[in-house]
Chain A
């Protein structure tokens, strides 16, 4: 890092090698478009290169870089005037206040899951189907394995806000994952689905956790 800050291109190239995959994944998660993700990855590294002397080292370089990529990705989405993509992290404004946006129905249909009673198999299929609509906090925390604090910093959110969104997202993913199996298997997973739905309703209340 010190060498890269002094303008050593080879040292910067090592940083590019280390983080290009992660930056590309984050950009693709947010934009859901491979070409956009490629452009954003290039632009994010260019910005980082140009502003490297401003990097104070108070946070990890990866967090700083991901924040640049997240901002670039969100700007790209805003420019897509015809885009139908809506951030799942963006709350819905209602007359009764702000409430978390409901996820779209993303579970595979029951036919696709027919015969798949193993929870791990069901979770894998659900996650594949849900990947394009994961909230950004879940992408960074659970897919990219950022800490909660790093996720907050990269997204420009407070730590409590990230915790709240993570809890909702995780509960909904867990609940959705077993909903279909619950209908088939009954018992344990039916209980879980019922409980998770109740928990989610609780968390949707304005002012909830």
Chain B
């Protein structure tokens, strides 16, 4: 497996959708290729931080105001 082949599998790898035989090749490549190991590790950390990160605040006051406005619009539309 080349580094290009590895990259082509990266999205499916994170989705857990790589077929077992190909997965073994990916894992072997990552063990043997320092660059791809670092790419895999850093990309995994990046995704993990995105998922933990609260990018926009959603304070209770905004939530209540927005919720009331939504329900007013919807019930008024009936």
Contact = CB atoms under 8 A, between A and B. Distances in A.
Interface of A: 7, 9, 12-13, 16-17, 20-21, 24-25, 28-29, 38, 41-42, 45-46, 49-50, 119-120, 123-124, 127-128, 131, 138, 142-143, 145, 147-148, 163, 166-167, 170-171, 173-174, 177-178, 188-189, 191-192, 195-196, 199, 202-203, 209
A195 B34 CA distance: 10
Contact of A49 (B56, B58, B74): B74
16 contacts: A25-B55, A38-B62, A38-B69, A45-B70, A142-B51, A143-B51, A166-B11, A170-B43, A170-B47, A174-B43, A177-B46, A189-B38, A195-B38, A196-B39, A199-B3, A199-B7
Interface in B45-78: 45-47, 49-51, 53, 55-56, 58, 62-63, 66-67, 69-71, 73-75, 77-78
Contacts of B50: 127, 138, 142-143
Given A25-B56, A45-B73, A178-B42, A167 B10 contact: yes
A131 B56 CA distance: 9
B46 A173 contact: yes
A171 B47 CA distance: 11
A167 B47 CA distance: 12
B19 to A, nearest CB: 15
Nearest to A143: B50
Contacts of B7: 167, 171, 199, 202-203, 209
A178 B45 CA distance: 12
B53 A199 contact: no
Given A20-B70, A119-B45, A128-B55, 18 more contacts: A9-B75, A9-B78, A16-B70, A20-B67, A28-B56, A38-B66, A45-B73, A45-B74, A46-B74, A120-B45, A127-B55, A148-B11, A191-B34, A192-B39, A195-B3, A195-B38, A203-B7, A209-B8
B15 interface: yes
Contacts of B47: 142, 170
Contact of A188 (B12, B38, B53): B38
Contacts of A167: 7, 10-11
Given A174-B46, A195-B39, A42 B10 contact: no
B74 to A, nearest CB: 4
Contacts of B45: 119-120, 123
B42 A192 contact: yes
A138 B34 CA distance: 26
Nearest to B15: A148
Contacts of A46: 70, 73-74, 77
